[in-house]
């Protein structure tokens, strides 16, 4: 079963379990991208953001305790 997600001017058409290519439709054209490639790109973005947060963290933040 196909699902459609619209974000701004971009339409993403994908199956429910993201097992197939994702159709990406923009005003200037259409592209098919394997979901694994999209997942890898977004995963890299999330990893970089988490690393940045960890680099700025204090020890108490890392241990999940309130500062005294």
Query: DSSP per residue over 24-68, as a string?
Result: EEETTEEEEEEHHHHHHHHHHHHHHHHHHHHHH--HHHHHT----
The residues pairing with 5 across neighbouring beta strands, listed in sequence order, are: 12
Rg (CA), the chain: 18
> How far is residue 43's CA from residue 37's CA, in Å, rounded to a whole number?
10
Q: What is the DSSP letter of 1?
A: -
Is pTM beyond 0.85? Reply is no
Domain boundary assignment for the chain: 2-63
- 12-63 confidence digits (pLDDT tens): 999 988 889 999 999 999 999 999 999 999 999 999 999 999 999 998 988 8
């Amino acid at each position: 079963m196909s699902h459609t997600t619209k974000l701004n001017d971009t339409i993403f058409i994908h199956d429910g379990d993201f097992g197939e290519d994702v159709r990406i439709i923009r005003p200037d054209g259409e592209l098919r991208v394997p979901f694994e490639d999209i997942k890898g790109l977004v995963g890299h973005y999330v990893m970089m953001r988490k690393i940045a947060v960890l680099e700025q963290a204090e020890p108490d933040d890392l241990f999940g305790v309130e500062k005294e």
